[in-house]
Homo-oligomer: A and B are copies of this chain.
Amino acid sequence: MKTVSTSKVHGGVQGVYSHASDSCACDMTFAVFVPPQASNEPLPVLWYLSGLTCTHANVMDKGEYRRMAAELGLMIVCPDTSPRGETVPDEKDNWQFGSGAGFYVDATEAPYAKNYRMYSYITEELPALIAANFPADIERQGIFGHSMGGHGALTIALKNPERFRSCSAFAPIAQPSTAGWSRPALEKYLGADEANWRAYDATLLIEDGNRFPELLVDQGTADGFLDEGLRPWLLEDACREASMALTLRMQEGYDHSYNFISTFMDDHLKWHAQRLR
């Protein structure tokens, strides 16, 4: 692991690191905020998964998570959203596929299966690296994210309820296997048989019996992707059907940007801290 940069902020340290990833067969970059409590105790780890087109840096720059994370004593890990590099297959003019659009799945189809293994990267490789290199109490993990990363957080929590104590999402893609902006990616990563997509679809995972104790979801009503891409009511239906606890808050007038995320960031951090500390 290489340290790219560190900077003191809100009493803690915001770092950026890179390493050669086995899962993704390329160098990967990620951000970690270590709050000031790190000198006293191992800290709970909260994973933030970003949306389409983002790197580790967008939420680090615009997410406004550090003040409250420092207050609550949460370590925040922000991974990249896909493998990257000259040897990684990509479609440069397609923002919904390839670089910046890993969708947190393990691809099975050539030529993507070699690199596009973000599910394994986020659930196995990066947690091991964090546990080895940071003052983390890896027994206490929570996960959240935005849009494609909200989808990632929901699916990863539903598939690993024993690993995560808390899960929330900002404007998540509720059902990627039936949304126009995610279907082409799922087909290229996972193949034409849609049965294989169900393992990476939050609502279908719930339909198939996966459970998580409780979820918090915020969604802006002025979000341009609401009706076609995000559709939180599908998650609401699935949770109701499964008697799963979901707090879905429709936030009047908010869009899909980091202005929305930063507004409700404190609420989400407190939600996780209540379950992690």
Contact = CB atoms under 8 A, between A and B. Distances in A.
Interface of A: 7-11, 14, 61-62, 64, 66-67, 220, 222, 253-255, 257-260, 262-263, 266
A259 B14 contact: yes
Contacts of A14: 259
In the complex, the count of this chain's copies comes to: 2
A250 B263 CA distance: 30
Contact of A7 (B7, B8, B11, B257): B257
Nearest to A265: B67
Given A62-B62, A64-B64, A66-B262, A253 B10 contact: no
A10 B66 contact: no
A66 B220 CA distance: 18
B62 A8 contact: no
A61 B61 contact: yes
Contact of A61 (B62, B254, B260, B263): B62
A8 B222 contact: yes
Nearest to A11: B263
Contacts of A62: 61-62
A87 B1 CA distance: 47
Nearest to A62: B61
A9 B263 contact: yes
B262 A10 contact: yes
Contacts of A220: 8
16 contacts: A7-B259, A8-B253, A8-B254, A8-B260, A8-B263, A9-B262, A9-B263, A10-B262, A10-B263, A11-B263, A14-B259, A61-B61, A62-B62, A64-B67, A64-B262, A66-B262
B64 A260 contact: no
Nearest to A255: B7
A8 B262 contact: no
Nearest to A253: B8
Nearest to A63: B64
Nearest to A254: B8
Contacts of A262: 9-10, 64, 66-67
